[in-house]
Structure 1
Amino acid sequence: MRKNVLVTGASSGIGRATALRLAAEGHTVFAAARRTDRLEALAAETPGTIVPVQLDVTDPDAVRGAVAAVAERAPAGLDVLVNNAGYALTGPVETLETDAVRAVFETNVVGLFDVTRAFLPQMRANRRGRIVNVSSMLGRMTVPGSGVYGGTKYAVEAMSDALRMEVRSFGIDVVVVEPGFVDTEIDTTSAMIAHDGAIADYAELERDMTAYLAAQVKAGATAEAVAATLVHASTVRNPKPRYVAPAKNAIVLKVLTTLPTRLADRLKLQTVRSS
C-alpha cells in the first residue's frame, strides 16, 4: 500500500537515503530540511515521488508551513512521520558551552516534539498513522564525551515510550530506530568537534575521544543500511517498538546495558582509551 511519508533531515545522510528508498518503493515522500537546493536535487534525481518541503524543526512557523504543504498535496493526511533531523555534540560535559547544549536539545528534542505534535491531530482524526523516531544506541547507553548528545536521545526514547502508550488507542504506532555509529555527515562534521584543550585536565581524554570517534565512524554502517531499517519500520504491518540498526549491534547494546554499572563504565573507558 502506497503511503504519504514525511522525512525530516532529508537533505543528507540517513534522511536522504531513507527518502530515496521510500520513493523507489512507490511511496510519496515529503523530504523536509532547511537546504531546499539539496531537496530539489534529490527530487530531480529519483524516478519516484519526492516533494521538497523547507523545514527548520526549531522554527514554529516553518513547522506550521510544513503541515500546510503536506495538506495541500495529500488532503487525506500523512501516514508516516519519520523524525530524523538532528545533530551531534561531543565532549566532556564541563568543556561544553551552555548555548551549544541548549541548541542541540532544541533540535534533537524540542524540534522533534514540535513536529510530532503538529502532525498528530490529523493522525488522530484519521485513527491511523505511524511516528518513527530516530534515536541512537547512545540513547540507551553512554560513553565518555557523549553525555549531552546521548541525553537528547535518552529524551527521545522516553517521549517515544510515553507517546506509544498514549496514542495506541487511536491506531497510531510509535517506533524507535537506534542506529550505532554511521558514516554520514552528522558524524564527519558536527560530531567530530575539534576540542581546544582549554581545560588541561581533559586534554588526554579529548584526544582519546577524537581517535575513538574517528575509528567508529570509519567502521560504521552506511546510511543506506540504516535507511533499510527505517523503511521497514515505516511500512511493515506490525512494527516492533524498537529496532537497532544494524541489527548485529543489538548484542553489544544488551551487554552494556545489563552489566553492573561500574563494570560497564570500566569497559567503555578502556574501549575509548585504546582506540
Structure 2
Amino acid sequence: MKIFALIGGSGTGKSYKALLVAHKYNINYIIDDGLLIRKDKILAGYSAKKEKNRIQAIRRAIFEETTHAQEVMEAIKKTKPAKILVIGTSVRMIDKIIKTLGLPPFKRILKIEDISTEKEIEDAKLSRLKEGRHVIPLPGIEVQRKFPVNILESLEIFYKRRYSNKKIGERVIVRPPFSYYGKLYVSENAILDIIVYTLKDFKEVVELGKSQINIQEEGILVNINLILRYGENIPSVGLKIQENLKRELEYITGINVNLINIFVYNLKY
C-alpha cells in the first residue's frame, strides 16, 4: 500500500483539488475530514463537517475517537487499497492520521502551493472566510444520504485533455454547522492554566517559572521554565512532563502541539 499526502492550510482548497490529484496519480481512495472515500462513495468514517464546533471537527478529522478509527481501519483492511491519498493541514496532522490508522509512512507529499495558483488559494480562503464554504470530494446525493448538511451546490469535475474533457467525479460545496460560529480562539492564558493544572500531578516540580506560549494556525509552541526537586532524574522527568502536557493540551483544545521546550533553571531540596 502506498500513501500519498496532500497538505495545505485551512481553506486553501485541498478538498477542491483532491479528485484531480487522485486522478493524476491513479489513486482510488481518499481520506479526508474523517471519511474514507472510494471514488464517489463513502466507505467508512464520520464527517468532521457534521460536528457542531471546530474543536470537535478537528478531533473527528484526526480519528481521535477509537470506534471511528476502528471502523476506517477495518474498511481499509477489507478493501486492501493499493494507494490512498490522505488530506491534512500539515505533515504533523498527516503523520497523526497515518499512525492512528496503522498505515505505512507516506511515499510522496504534495503541497497545495504545488498544484494551485496563488489566486486560486486566495479565492478559496476568501470563500471560506466570508461564506463558510467547505468542499467534500463527493456527489451531493451521497453526502445528503450519509449526513445532513447545508449543501450549497454540487459540481462535476473534469480532467482536461488535449482533445476532450473526461469526467472524473463530482464534488459538493457545503456549509457545515461549525462554520456559523466563526473562528475559535484559544487564549494564551487558557493554555497556561492547562499547563499549571497538569504540572500539579508532578511532585518533582517545585515551581513554574516564566513561560512563553505561541499559538499558530499549524499548532502550539510552548517554552516553560521549571524548578525541580533536587535528586530527580532531570531528562526522565522532563520527558514525562512533555508527554503529559502534549496529551492534555491536544485533548482539551483540539489544537496540535508542535513543540514543548522545558528549561530547568534551578534545583531545590
Q: TM-score if structure 2 supplies the norm length?
A: 0.27
Q: TM-score if structure 1 supplies the norm length?
A: 0.27
* Structure with the higher fraction of residues in strand conformation: 2
